[in-house]
Every structure is written in structure tokens, then in C-alpha cells.
Structure 1
Amino acid sequence: MQFLKILFWCLLAFVAAVFTLGNWTTVPIKLWGGLIAEVNLPLLLFVTFLIGLVPTMLYYNAIRWRLRNRLATSERTLADLRGVLAPAAPASLEPDAPVIPPAAVPTAVPPGGA
């Protein structure tokens, strides 16, 4: 599986390199006050990709952090409740004494059946 991951990332890097070499042109961007910035197309696409990726990743990590904290709090509460509600074992039972299983529970007979 690790080999497939490495192969995927190498293939993606190769496609990105071919795209970069094939589209190495400057793109004029009109700024305020009549300024024009000339930026290479691959750099412009990379920056716009990061503008979309970074806020999404920040939101995702914040949600994961919040859910992880909620889960840890719930697990601590559950452990505390288990400690409080755990019944104490009777001291009269000997470790070698045979354990008697509980009696069988009668089952309901369907109507019309024997």
C-alpha cells in the first residue's frame, strides 16, 4: 500500500511539472491605482489553490480538535460514573466456590401453538 502512495505522489508531481513547463507564461493582473502585476501562471494557480485550501483545512482541524475534546470529556465522565456505580463484590464468596448459573427465563408461546 505504501508503494501505491509513493507512486501516486510521484505521478502527481510529474503531472504538475509537465503542466508548469507547458504553461510558463506571464499573466497580467490589474491592481488598484492602475498598477499591473505580471505573475507566472503556475504560481498564480498555486496561490489560488492555497487560498481555497488553507481556510478549509483550518476549519477541518478546528472541528476535529473540538470533537476530540468532547470525546475525551465524555470518556472521562463515563469512567467516573463506572467507578461510582460499580457494585462491590460480596466478601463472602470464596474464589474456589462453584458458580451457579441463573435459572432459564421462560419463553413466550405464540398464540395457537402448543
Structure 2
Amino acid sequence: MQIIRTVAWIALTAILVAFIAMNWTKVPVNLWPLEDGNYVHFEWPVGIVALLFFLLGMAPPWLYLRAVRWRMSRRIASLENSLRASSMPSINARPDSPSTTGATPLEASSTPSSPEA
């Protein structure tokens, strides 16, 4: 599975680099209008603009994925802790006499009691 992920990242990087290299012409990017009717603009290469908006588009799903993973890991840890707590014997539990001596209930009832004189 790791090799498939690595190959996918290499392919995505190669496609992105090729796209940026083929679209290196500079275009004006208008940010906002000014009072005199002109625009504040920068001249950026098309590939950089595309990369910037690709990363801006990937940020919300990535943040959502991280939040879901964090929430699920906390939930799993909580469930593991509750399972651990429920499987531990209670300290205040009243012990049964045959189980504390190591004898089974059958052995405890079948042992003859010797009368003391």
C-alpha cells in the first residue's frame, strides 16, 4: 500500500510541475478595485496561481480529515480506557472464601472437618 501511495504522489507532483512549466506566462490578477476605477493587481504566472488555489481548495478537506482522525482517536482511547476499567477487579469487592484459599467450591465442601477435643 505504501508503494501505491508513493507512486501516486510522484505522479501528482510530475503532473503539477509539467502544468506549471507549460503555463509560465504571466497574467494580471486583479485583487480589488480602487476608488479611481483601477484595480490592485499582481502579475503572476498562471501555474503559481493554479497551485495557490489548488492548495486553498485542499485546505478545508485536509483540516476536516485531521479533525475526524483526532476525534476518532480520542473516542477509541476513551473506549479502551472504559474497557480496561470494567475488566479490572474491584478493590471493594467481597471475596468468596473458597476462591481466596485456592480451593474449588467442590473441594471446600468435601473436606471433612476434624472435631477438636
| TM-score for both structures, normalised by structure 1 | 0.65
In structure 2, the partner of 1:47 is 52
CA deviations on 1:55-111 (whole Å, 9 max, x unpaired) are 2211211111111111111111111111137x9893204xxxxxxxxxxxxxxxxxx
Correspondence list, 1:65-76, <5 A: 65-76=70-81
Q: Does 1:16 align with 2:16?
A: yes
Aligned to 1:111: none
* Within-5 A mapping of 1:78-89: 78-84=83-89
Which of 54, 60, 64 is equivalent to 1:59?
A: 64
C-alpha distance after superposition, 1:4-26 (max 9, x if no partner): 55444333333222222211111
* More contact order relative to length (CA 8 Å, sep ≥ 6): 2
How far did 1:35 drift?
1.4
How many pairs are equivalent?
A: 94
Q: Under a length normalisation based on structure 2, what TM-score does the superposition of the two structures give?
A: 0.63
| 2:82 pairs with 1:77 | yes
Q: CA deviation at 1:45?
A: 0.8
Secondary structure at 1:31's aligned position in 2?
strand
In 2, the alpha carbon distance for the partners of 1:57 and 1:3 equals 22
Q: Secondary structure at the match of 2:89?
A: helix
* Separation in structure 2 between the aligned mates of residue 20 and residue 65 of structure 1, nearest angstrom: 34
State the superposition RMSD in angstroms: 2.8
Is the counterpart of residue 92 in structure 1 residue 103 in structure 2? Answer: yes
Displacement of 1:49 after TM fit? 1.0
Query: How many percent of aligned residue pairs carry the same amino acid?
Result: 30
In the alignment, structure 2 segments of 5+ residues that lack a partner are 105-117
> Which structure shows the bigger proportion of residues in strand conformation?
2
Q: Which runs of 5+ in 1 are unaligned?
A: 94-114
